[in-house]
Amino acid sequence: MATLRPPLDAAPAARHDFAMTETPRAPAHPIDPLFTRRWSPRALDGAPIAEAELLTLLEAARWAPSAYNAQPWRFLYARRDTPAWGPMFSALVPFNQTWAQNAAALVVVLSRTISGPAGPDAQTNRWHAFDAGAAWASLAFQAELSGLAAHAMAGFDAEALRAALAVPATYDLHAVVAIGRRGDPAQLPDPLRAREAPNGRNPLSAIAAEGAFRFEE
Ligand SMILES: Cc1cc2nc3c(=O)[nH]c(=O)nc-3n(C[C@H](O)[C@H](O)[C@H](O)COP(=O)(O)O)c2cc1C
């Protein structure tokens, strides 16, 4: 069995404790607490973050693994109260705007869908989305380690955002990630406040099996 590191920093967990006690996230096998400590809150405190703090999260994403080390991920970011914020925030669906207005930054996660030069002979990179997912996960775990929260959103108008940010057709837009420090859930509208707690997971036996496929078709 792998030796587990002690928690890297107990302090962030304490800072994030608004609802943690109500839905314990108990792993069925020993893992670093980082994995259950990370979750996606909607209550954010509205405080700004320095660009350097944001770059630390993107730096973690940069070191993700990728097929052929192609590094197909790209990130476009905006901090609140900067000119770049408006186009990204406007593309979010109203539900996400209600809470993401208190994010300190938004990060659009994209990936290049082709390998090599663009053009009629361009080769599709089959792993671009898989690799972008790995990079986003690195960003999210670094956010937790940095005392920040990262909350991915698929609820945005992808074509409007593509146009607003001049993203070429050779890139897919996957998610917009809201980043900020956790805030008080009391600030959320009623239905969101009730949901503001870490959720659970399917049992390991439902997602991992030795040998052949034996899950729901
Ligand atoms: C690709 C992706 C898209 C998501 N889209 C939204 C969204 O539009 N709005 C939202 O409030 N949460 C969104 N979420 C957050 C998920 O609901 C959340 O990650 C999931 O319930 C697991 O909870 P946890 O991240 O707190 O562990 C998204 C997450 C991912 C990874």
Give per-residue pLDDT as tens, 153-187.
999 999 999 999 999 999 999 999 999 999 999 99
- Going by pLDDT thresholds of 50, 70 and 90, the confidence category of residue 24 is low
Query: What angle, rounded to 10 degrees, do the helices at 51-62 and 128-145 form?
Result: 130
Percent of the chain with pLDDT over 70: 89
Please, are residues 49 and 180 in contact by the beta-carbon 8 Å criterion?
A: yes
Dist CA 192 CA 175 (whole Å): 20
Give per-residue pLDDT as tens, 71-111.
999 999 999 999 999 999 999 999 999 999 999 999 999 99
Residue nearest to atom 20 of ligand 1 (CA): 40
Residue 60: both structure tokens together: 């973690």
Model pTM score: 0.90
Dist CA 177 CA 152 (whole Å): 4
Domains annotated on the chain, with CATH = 51-194 (3.40.109.10)
Q: Tell me how far the alpha carbon of residue 151 lies from the centroid of ligand 1, in angstroms.
A: 6
Mean pLDDT of all residues belonging to the chain: 90
Atom of ligand 1 nearest to the CA of 99: 11
Residue with the two structure tokens 């996230």: 25
Atom of ligand 1 nearest to the CA of 151: 15
Beta bridge partners of 123: 115
Pairing of strands 105-112, 171-180: antiparallel
